[in-house]
Amino acid sequence: MNFAAFFSYIFLTAFTPGPNNIMSMSIAGKYGFWKGLRFNVGVFLGFLSVMTGCAVFTRFLYRFIPILEPVMVYAGAAYILWLAWTVWRDAPHSESSGRIETNSVLNGMILQFINVKVILYGLTAMTTFILPYYRSIPALIVFILILSLMGLVGTCCWALFGAAFNRFFSSHRKLLNLGMAIFLVYCAISLVAERF
């Protein structure tokens, strides 16, 4: 597995704006970081559940329909290229699934089951980076934890530094978007290149 591409993908996906990060920033701004941590714990628990579901689903497909493996890798690479395009165009996909007004573990968890970005994050990571190389249960558990912890780190960073990120993104939006898009294109190309 190309670990540089894998970690670039999960880092960029975890730290780009999405429902989790925006909600975490908003809740921390309203209640403070420590009181808002309940929401982030819920996000982490929801991530664990969704990543486990993605691992089980894609492992099932790989085991019983192995011809889908190359198709899923190319579909994952295409999705990453689409992400690069939307980041570069500065038109991120908006999966705002409604606003959650309360600060609780349960609301953080529930958001993960309706958050398209998290579901696609898990499916893409599993199908393109992880399952072509690792299929044992212990390895999958490690990757589920890595994916979930990266999601938690992303939401906590947005909670801590949300205001600073907003100002920084506003001032240097085009340059940052170009950099993130280039990293995503690298991820997609390296996935396809590894098949040859």
Of 49, 51, 44, 8, which is closest to residue 156 (Cα–Cα)? 44
> Which are the contacts of 166, defined by CB distance < 8 A and separation ≥ 6?
25
The pLDDT tens digits along the chain (196 residues) read: 889 889 999 998 888 877 788 778 777 776 778 888 898 999 999 999 999 999 998 888 777 776 766 776 787 778 778 767 876 776 544 444 444 354 788 888 887 887 778 888 898 899 889 988 998 999 999 999 999 999 999 999 988 875 555 566 667 777 877 876 787 787 678 767 766 6
Going from N- to C-terminal start, the domains of the chain cover 3-193
> Which are the contacts of 27, defined by CB distance < 8 A and separation ≥ 6?
36, 39, 103, 159
**pTM higher than 0.85:** no
Q: Determine the Cα–Cα distance for residues 50 and 109; give it in Å rounded to an integer.
A: 9
SS3 19: helix
Tokens of 117: 């970005």
Q: Determine the Cα–Cα distance for residues 38 and 51; give it in Å rounded to an integer.
A: 20
Contact 173, 90 (CB under 8 A): yes
